[in-house]
Chains A and B, each alone.
Chain A
Amino acid sequence: MLSHRVNHHYGEDELVLYYYGEGRHRTRVARHLEQCDACRAAYASLAAALGLVSASAGEIPQRGDQYGLEVWQRIRHRLPERERVWWPNVFASFEGRLAALAGVAALAAVAALVVGAFFLGRAWPDTSTPVDGSAPPPPVARVIDPPEVAPALASAVADHLERSERLLTDVMNASSQRDLAAERSWAADLVSEGRLYRREVEATGDEALASVLDDLERNLLEVVHSPSPISAAALADIRNRIDAAALLFKVRVLGDELREQQRAADPYVRQTSTPKAG
């Protein structure tokens, strides 16, 4: 027992690995530490130092629930072209290769059928002309409707735009001496609800409305994260952004359009819509 202790002391590097639960000879090191005073003292000193490091680094600045959205707003215009992978990943595995080959075979079969049908159709006698010689009926006109927002969603979005318009108007007219505490909290609520509406609108395919909601969200976030108390320069910066995006105008016009659609669809809406302030 004594000879083992005297024969081999462990160096700092081996003790570091032991401290972190690494290394191949953990049992042997543990046994040695029980028996060797010098190594036990060296290990205690190392563990104490690393314990201080752990204790000193506990504070990480917190980020709120909206942080991910803020990051997105910062990077979305910087997103580059993606690296295109010519040979997709599905080909990487054997199963993937089989599936891909099956897919290619199916595509080839469909292509052969289409080509075959085309030539068969050309060779086949035309029987579409009526026997009585009258002209065939005209083709039914196909009208592609613009994406339509459901009435309930349209109404909710119109209300949201109206509230946002009021907030933006307040910000544009706020005195530079006044803090925006109330507007900040109001804007935070609008960001949360606007985000939901934007996703719903995107799902309908109405890109114009979704884009305005996106611009609105970004500008509302600027209000939410404005410094408190706000300086005249910071306030001017927010106003310039709102101005540059012609946001108030867009919000007003789209809000009016949605209300108009509602009125056209249901005359009673006129009586139930939220009255505008001011």
Chain B
Amino acid sequence: MDAIDAATTLARACDGDDEAFRRLVETHSRALFRLAYRLTGNEQDAEDVVQDALIRAYRRLGSFESRAAFATWLYRIAANCAVDHLRSRQGRDARHEVLPEAADAPESPLPGPDRLAASAEIDRHVRAALADMSPLERTAFTLRHFEGRSINEICRTLGVGSSAAKHSVFRAVRKLRAALAPLASKEGSTC
């Protein structure tokens, strides 16, 4: 879809044309899924976030201001849907991603050539730390670290103050470092 076509489609969707909204869904779903997966770390949850975000966007299309970029607006809705989703998931099963063996990993030194196993272990620790974060910490950290959004953009996206956004990122980093500390000491012992 070129820029003119995209603007026309968006204008038609805002005027209530469902076929135009369908084209927007087809254009933006994959990017939304990537963001949702990063935020939730789980395929099924990411699918739910994509659908919830698009339905929420549809409901609010009438209030979309054409001065803003549609992708950014949609992105903001998806990030907030992910926060809501993480909150409800936390209520259900706060630590379902923490694998028990991560904590009880054998103390053997990391074998040099076995990079895959090492990478899987790092991945387990990172996932465990992400699962241990609050929804706001996880979302703010993901937006900052993986999506390259500035603190100011995170404030606007999540509707929080600068201090709250910064401290969410700080706490997230502390949790990650604590989770990765055993690996760092292991690597240090092999050097």
User: Using a CB–CB distance below 8 Å, which chain A residues touch chain B?
Assistant: 12-13, 16-17, 20, 22, 45-46, 48-50, 52-57, 60-61, 63, 67-69, 71-72, 74-76, 78-85, 89, 92, 199, 202
Contacts and interface: CB of A to CB of B under 8 A. Distances in A.
Nearest to B178: A49
A90 to B, nearest CB: 9
Nearest to A19: B173
B34 A46 contact: no
Interface in B11-64: 16, 18-19, 22, 25-30, 33-34, 37-38, 43, 50-51, 54-55, 58-64
Given A71-B51, A202-B19, A53 B176 contact: yes
Contact of B145 (A48, A53, A75, A84): A53
B170 interface: yes
Interface residues of B, number: 47
Dominant SS among interface residues on chain A: helix
Contact of A67 (B33, B119, B145, B166): B33
A49 B65 contact: no
Nearest to A61: B43
B65 to A, nearest CB: 5
A49 B166 CA distance: 18
Interface in B132-191: 144-146, 150-151, 166, 169-170, 173-174, 176-177, 180, 183-184
B169 to A, nearest CB: 7
A82 B176 contact: no
Contacts of A57: 38, 123, 126, 146
B29 A83 contact: no
B170 A13 contact: yes
A52 to B, nearest CB: 5
Given A56-B119, A56-B126, A82-B61, A68 B29 contact: yes
A68 B26 contact: yes
B62 A46 contact: no
B72 interface: no
Interface in B53-98: 54-55, 58-66
A63 B174 CA distance: 33
B173 A12 contact: yes
Nearest 3 Cβ contacts at the A-B interface: A68-B26, A68-B29, A71-B29
Nearest to B174: A12
B183 A52 contact: yes
B150 A22 contact: yes
A25 B38 CA distance: 31
Contact of B25 (A16, A48, A68, A81): A68
Contacts of B18: 76, 79
A130 B30 CA distance: 70
Contacts of A75: 25, 51, 54-55, 58
Given A48-B184, A49-B176, A83-B63, A68 B28 contact: yes
Contact of B34 (A22, A54, A60): A60
B6 interface: no
5 contacts: A20-B145, A49-B180, A55-B119, A67-B33, A83-B60
Contacts of B122: 52, 55-56
B58 A82 contact: yes
A79 B19 CA distance: 13
A75 B22 CA distance: 10
A83 B51 contact: no
A45 B183 CA distance: 12
A89 B66 contact: yes
A75 B58 CA distance: 10
Contact of B26 (A22, A69, A84, A89): A69
Contacts of A71: 25-26, 29, 50-51, 54
Contacts of A82: 16, 58-62
A68, A69, A74, A79: residue with the most chain B Cβ atoms closer than 10 Å: A68
